[in-house]
C-alpha cells in the first residue's frame, strides 16, 4: 500500500509541476495518532518544484490524489504534512493480499539471488559455550534468516578455533591432572570436561607465577618463564610440527568438545551449512603471508617475526607470524577468507563478532585488499556489544562464565514454574507441558537478547526475561496461543472463514491493526539493510500489543454481524501468521496452546 501511494505522489508532482522525482525522495509515514489520517506525506522536498509554500503544495497534491487515486478517500494538511485518509475497501484489499501470502513480506530466493556468507559462533575448543556465545549465535542465526527472507541465498558458516596456545593449555592440564578422565567415565559433556582443565591450567599457572615473583622475579618475567607456560608453548610447537602424540591427544579432546557443541547448538536451535577449522586454514594463511613477504607487502624483523606496516593507512604495525614461525589469529583469518572465497562465489561476507574486535577487522580488510583480493574492502564486520550480568563481567579462565547449557536449563525451569503458577499449563498433557515450557524458556532467552539493538552492550537478567505482560517472548507467545484458541473455537462452532467483503465496516483500531500488518515487509527490508534483528523483535511486540487491545475492545466469536465476525477472524489469523513468521526469523517457536 505504501509503495502504491508513494508512486501516486510522484505521479501527482510530475502532473502538477512537471518535475520527475525518484521514489527514494518520497517520505511517507504512518499518521500520528493525534491527527486524522492513515498515511502522511512530507511535502517539503517538492517545494522547489512547486514554487509555493508547504500548505499550498500539500493542498494541491492532496486534491490531485483524491481525484485520481481510488484508494484516497480524503486528506487534510497540517504545517506542510499531507495526511491521507484511505477508504475502507483499500484496507480490505490489503488484508486480502496479506491473507493470500503464507510468507507475507518474504522475497523469493532464486539461483540468481546474491550469495551472502554469514560467519557466527567461532568457539574455542578449550571451553564450553557461554552467555557471550549465545548472543553471538542468536544474532548470527537470526541475521542469516532475515537476509534469506530478503531474497538472498545464504551460507551459514562457523570457524572453529581448534588450535593455538589456549588449546594446548587444556591439553597439558588434562595430561598432568586428568588421570585419564573422559566424558564417558565422568558423565560430563565433553566441552565441559575440557573447559574444566582450561580453568585448572590457569589456577596452577597463577600459583607458579606467584611463587616465581616471591623469589624476586618481575611479574612479566614470571609469566613468561613459568614452567607450565613454557610447556604449553613447547606443546604448540610440537603440534605445528605434526608430533604424533600431541596430535592424537588434540584430536581426541577436540572430538569430545565437538560432541558437546553439537548438543548445545541443537538445543539452541542454530545450525551451519559449512564449518571451517583453524587447524586447516592457518597453513593457507601462512602461505598468503609468505607470498606477501616475497612481494614486499610485509617485512621480517631481526628475530624472524613477520609484520605488516600499516602506518601509512592510519593504523599501526601488525604481527603476522611469530619469531618461532607460529601463526596468529590474523594469519588464520587471512587463510579462512581465502578458502571461503575459493569454495563459494560470495557476493558479501559478514562476520558476526563482538565489538572488541573492531580494529582486528579493519586490519583484516586492509590486508586482504593489499594481497590482491577484490573482496577485501567489502567485508562486513557485524559488530555487536557485550553481554554482562548483574554481577559483572565473565571470565573464562577463572571459570566465572555463565555456561550456555546451565542457562538454558535455568530458563526452562523458570518458565515451567511461572507458567504453572499462572495456570498457563492447565489442561495440557505432560508431553505438551515439556514442549511448551521449553519453547517459553528458550523463547524468553532469545527474545530478551535479540530485542536489544545489537550494537549496544546489554545486561542480561534471567528473572526479567519471562513475563507474560511485558516486552518479552512469553507475552508474544501467549498472544499467538490466544489467537489459535479463538480460531479453534470458531472451527468447533462450525464457522468457515469466507473471502473478505469490500464493504465491511472498520473501526480505527482495526484499520490501524491492518496497517501494522501491512508494514511488516518494510520492517523486514530495514532489518536486512541495517543488520538488526531487534527491529523484527520490537515490531512483533508492538503488533501483539495492538492485537491485545483490539481483542479486549471488540467481540470476535460473539459478534452477531457475520461479515464483521469473518473480518475479525481473518484479521486474527493473519496477526498470528505474521507473528509466527517474524518470531521464526528470530529462531523462536510459538505454541498453539498455552
pLDDT tens profile 151-203: 999 999 999 999 888 999 999 999 999 999 999 999 999 999 999 999 999 99
Over pLDDT 70: what percentage of the chain? 97
Span(s) in the chain for CATH 3.40.50.620: 120-388
Neighbours of 33 (CB within 10 A): 7
CATH class of the domain whose range is 120-388: alpha beta
For residue 395, pLDDT beyond 60: no
Q: Say how far apart CA 545 and CA 476 lie, in whole Å.
A: 8
Residue 497, CA atoms < 13 Å, CB-side half-sphere: 18
- The pLDDT assigned to 461 comes to 75
Q: What mean pLDDT do residues 539-554 have? A: 97
| CATH 3.30.1360.70 residue ranges for the chain | 2-86
pLDDT for 106 beyond 90: yes
pLDDT attached to residue 169: 96
**CA contacts within 13 A on the Cβ side of 239:** 28
- The per-residue pLDDT of the chain, averaged, comes to 92
* Mean pLDDT (whole number) for 293-298: 95
Question: Residue 400: what pLDDT?
Answer: 53
Task: pLDDT band for 398, please (50, 70, 90 cuts).
Answer: very low
Q: What are the strands of the beta sheet with 299-300, ordered from one edge?
A: 299-300, 306-309, 317-321
CATH architecture of 404-585: Orthogonal Bundle (1.10)
Among 22, 25, 20, 29, which residue's Cα sits nearest to residue 2? 29
Residue 392, pLDDT above cutoff 60? no
| CATH 1.10.730.10 domain extents, the chain | 404-585
- For 2-86, CATH gives 3.30.1360.70
Q: How many CB atoms lie within 10 A of CB 311?
A: 9
Amino acid at each position: 500500500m505504501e509503495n502504491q501511494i508513494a508512486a501516486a505522489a510522484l505521479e501527482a508532482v510530475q502532473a502538477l509541476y512537471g518535475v520527475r522525482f525518484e521514489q527514494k525522495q518520497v517520505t511517507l509515514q504512518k499518521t500520528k495518532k493525534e491527527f486524522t489520517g492513515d498515511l502522511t506525506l512530507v511535502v517539503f522536498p517538492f517545494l522547489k518544484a512547486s514554487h509555493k509554500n508547504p500548505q499550498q503544495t500539500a493542498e494541491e497534491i492532496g486534491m490531485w490524489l483524491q481525484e485520481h487515486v481510488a484508494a484516497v478517500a480524503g486528506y487534510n494538511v497540517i504545517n506542510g504534512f499531507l495526511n491521507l485518509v484511505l477508504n475502507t475497501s483499500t484496507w480490505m484489499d490489503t488484508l486480502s493480499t496479506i491473507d493470500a501470502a503464507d510468507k507475507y513480506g518474504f522475497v523469493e530466493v532464486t539461483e540468481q539471488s546474491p550469495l551472502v556468507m554469514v560467519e557466527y559462533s567461532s568457539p574455542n575448543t578449550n571451553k564450553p559455550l557461554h552467555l557471550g556465545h549465545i548472543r553471538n549465535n542468536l544474532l548470527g542465526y537470526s541475521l542469516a534468516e532475515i537476509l534469506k527472507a530478503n531474497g538472498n541465498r545464504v551460507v551459514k558458516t562457523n570457524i572453529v578455533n581448534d588450535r593455538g596456545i589456549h588449546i594446548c593449555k587444556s591439553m597439558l592440564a588434562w595430561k598432568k591432572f586428568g588421570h585419564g578422565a573422559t566424558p564417558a567415565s565422568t558423565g560430563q559433556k565433553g566441552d565441559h570436561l575440557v573447559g574444566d582443565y582450561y580453568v585448572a591450567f590457569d589456577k596452577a599457572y597463577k600459583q607458579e607465577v606467584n611463587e616465581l615473583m616471591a623469589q624476586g622475579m618481575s611479574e612479566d618475567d614470571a609469566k613468561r618463564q613459568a614452567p607450565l607456560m613454557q610447556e604449553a608453548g613447547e606443546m604448540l610447537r610440537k603440534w605445528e610440527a605434526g608430533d604424533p602424540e600431541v596430535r592424537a591427544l588434540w584430536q581426541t579432546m577436540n572430538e569430545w568438545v565437538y560432541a558437546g557443541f553439537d548438543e548445545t547448538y541443537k538445543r539452541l536451535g542454530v545450525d551451519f551449512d559449512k564449518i571451517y577449522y583453524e587447524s586447516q586454514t592457518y597453513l593457507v594463511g601462512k602461505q598468503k603471508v609468505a607470498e606477501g613477504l616475497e612481494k614486499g607487502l610485509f617485512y621480517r624483523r631481526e628475530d624472524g617475526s613477520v609484520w605488516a606496516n600499516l602506518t601509512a593507512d592510519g593504523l599501526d604495525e601488525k604481527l603476522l607470524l611469530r619469531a618461532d614461525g607460529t601463526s596468529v589469529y590474523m594469519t588464520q583469518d587471512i587463510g579462512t577468507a581465502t578458502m571461503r572465497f575459493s569454495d563459494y562465489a560470495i557476493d558479501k561476507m559478514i562476520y558476526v563478532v563482538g565489538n572488541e574486535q573492531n580494529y582486528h577487522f579493519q586490519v583484516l580488510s586492509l590486508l586482504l585488499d593489499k594481497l590482491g583480493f577484490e573482496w577485501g574492502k567489502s567485508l562486513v564486520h557485524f559488530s555487536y556489544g557485550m553481554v554482562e550480568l548483574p554481577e559483572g563481567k565473565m571470565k573464562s579462565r577463572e571459570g566465572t562464565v555463565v555456561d550456555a547449557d546451565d542457562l538454558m536449563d535455568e530458563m526452562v525451569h523458570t518458565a515451567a514454574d511461572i507458567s504453572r503458577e499462572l495456570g498457563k499449563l492447565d489442561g495440557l498433557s505432560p508431553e505438551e507441558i515439556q514442549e511448551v515450557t521449553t519453547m517459553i524458556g528458550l523463547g524468553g532467552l532469545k527474545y530478551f537478547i535479540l530485542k536489544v539493538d545489537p550494537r549496544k552492550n546489554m545486561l542480561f537478567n534471567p528473572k526479567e526475561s519471562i513475563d507474560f505482560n511485558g516486552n518479552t517472548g512469553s507475552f508474544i507467545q501467549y498472544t499467538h496461543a490466544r489467537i489459535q484458541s479463538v480460531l479453534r473455537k470458531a472451527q468447533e462452532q462450525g464457522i468457515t472463514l469466507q473471502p473478505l467483503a469490500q464493504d465491511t465496516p472498520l473501526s480505527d483500531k482495526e484499520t490501524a491493526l491492518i496497517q501494522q500488518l501491512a508494514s511488516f515487509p518494510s520492517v523486514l527490508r530495514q532489518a536486512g539493510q541495517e543488520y538488526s534483528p531487534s527491529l523484527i523483535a520490537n515490531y512483533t511486540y508492538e503488533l501483539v500489543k495492538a492485537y491485545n487491545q483490539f481483542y479486549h475492545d471488540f467481540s470476535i466469536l460473539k459478534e452477531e454481524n457475520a461479515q464483521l465476525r469473518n473480518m475479525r477472524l481473518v484479521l486474527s489469523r493473519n496477526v498470528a501468521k505474521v507473528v509466527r513468521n517474524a518470531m521464526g526469523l528470530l529462531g523462536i517457536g510459538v505454541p498453539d496452546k498455552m
